[in-house]
């Protein structure tokens, strides 16, 4: 069982000299992130049991300051697909869903977006469902904007009722995707998460395995775990994002 100091020592020994602090966090959707100008590595607490190959992968990603090459992209993929962290995050999601249900605060009801942004997302989701998924997804999966994501661009939160019926609690997108210049990234991320929803509802799979990649290719998003193209982010996390992007020409007037 690694402490934060152990983890830091191990990745620095493997070449991640720019990292001076490691923090373990119990997240539901974020596997890792770099903060404080790339000097602090935040990792899911499941990595207290990281194996040597995972530590090498972290040293590559952290050493490059993120995903900047094919090698670091492969390393990040290995980290995200590590079975123990996937299981830990699924447990955290179930606990979160149970707590939300008991308190009457379903995650899908919380959105940092404006009413106009929410209308935009509902319209785009409906359009993609009809044109890319042949209407196979539920009509009213909550799609919300999240102001707390840093490195992650989106997530799909799966749910399961007592009778075993699967459903999607929410799809969440990083609010920075609404910024000017993120049009392709916004569409790709929404399709990515909708592909997760379709895969989960039809097969019960939650990861980026073969069944998800089939969906991703079918609907036209990149069949990759991590997005490697530049994404525009706010300089200050406290700045509000109220921009409503223009809808595709086929949808103008349909909102």
Asked whether residue 88 is domain-assigned, the answer is no
SS3 of 55-119: the string is: HHHHHHHHHHCCCCCHHHHHHHHHHHCCHHHHHHHHHHHHHHHHHHHHHCCCHHHCCCCCHHHHH
150 and 70 together in one domain: no
- Statement: residue 208 has pLDDT above 60: yes
As a whole number, mean pLDDT of residues 200-227 equals 88
Same structural domain, 49 and 116: no
* Structural domain contains residue 31: yes
Q: Are residues 60 and 113 in the same domain?
A: no
Q: In total, how many domains does the chain have?
A: 2
Tell me if 169 sits within 8 A of 157, measured CB to CB. yes
Residue 199 in any domain: the answer is yes
- In a domain? residue 92: no
DSSP label of 4: H
Q: How far is CA 198 from CA 82, 205, 242, in A?
A: 22, 9, 29
Residue 26 sits in a domain whose CATH number is 3.30.2010.10
Q: What does the alpha-carbon distance between residue 37 and residue 197 come to, in Å, rounded to a whole number?
A: 34
Residues 140 and 116: their CA atoms lie apart, in Å, by 17
Question: In the prediction, which pLDDT does 164 show?
Answer: 80
**Residues 211, 172 share a domain:** yes
- Domain for residue 60, yes or no? yes
Tell me the average pLDDT of the chain. Answer: 88
Which pLDDT value is given to residue 253? 58
- Asked if residue 44 and residue 134 are part of one domain, the reply reads no
pLDDT for 18 equals 93
* 35-47 pLDDT per residue, tens: 988 999 999 999 9
pLDDT for 227? 62
d(CA 46, CA 43): 8
Instruction: Please give the residue that has the higher pLDDT: either 207 or 218.
Output: 218
Let me know if 187 is exposed, middle or buried by CB neighbors in 10 A (0-12, 13-18, 19+): middle
């Amino acid at each position: 069982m690694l402490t934060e100091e152990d983890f830091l020592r191990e990745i620095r020994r493997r070449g991640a000299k720019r990292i001076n602090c490691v923090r373990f966090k119990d997240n539901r959707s974020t596997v890792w992130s770099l903060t404080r100008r790339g000097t602090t590595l935040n990792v899911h607490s499941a990595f207290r049991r990281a194996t040597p190959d995972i530590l090498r992968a972290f040293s590559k990603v952290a050493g490059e300051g993120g995903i900047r090459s094919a090698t670091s992209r492969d390393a990040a993929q290995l980290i995200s697909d590590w079975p123990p962290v996937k299981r830990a995050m699924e447990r955290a999601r179930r606990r979160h869903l149970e707590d939300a249900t008991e308190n009457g605060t379903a995650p899908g009801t919380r959105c940092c977006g404006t009413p106009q942004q929410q209308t935009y997302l509902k319209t785009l989701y409906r359009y993609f469902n009809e044109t890319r998924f042949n209407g196979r997804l539920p009509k009213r999966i909550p799609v919300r904007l999240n102001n707390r994501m840093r490195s992650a661009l989106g997530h799909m939160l799966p749910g399961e009722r007592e009778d075993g019926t699967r459903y999607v609690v929410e799809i969440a997108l990083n609010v920075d995707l609404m910024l000017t210049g993120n049009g392709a990234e916004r569409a790709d991320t929404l399709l990515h998460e909708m592909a997760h929803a379709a895969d989960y509802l039809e097969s019960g799979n939650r990861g980026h395995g073969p069944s998800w990649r089939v969906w991703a290719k079918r609907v036209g998003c990149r069949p990759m775990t991590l997005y490697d193209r530049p994404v525009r982010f706010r300089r200050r996390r406290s700045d509000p994002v109220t921009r409503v992007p223009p809808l595709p020409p086929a949808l103008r007037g349909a909102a």
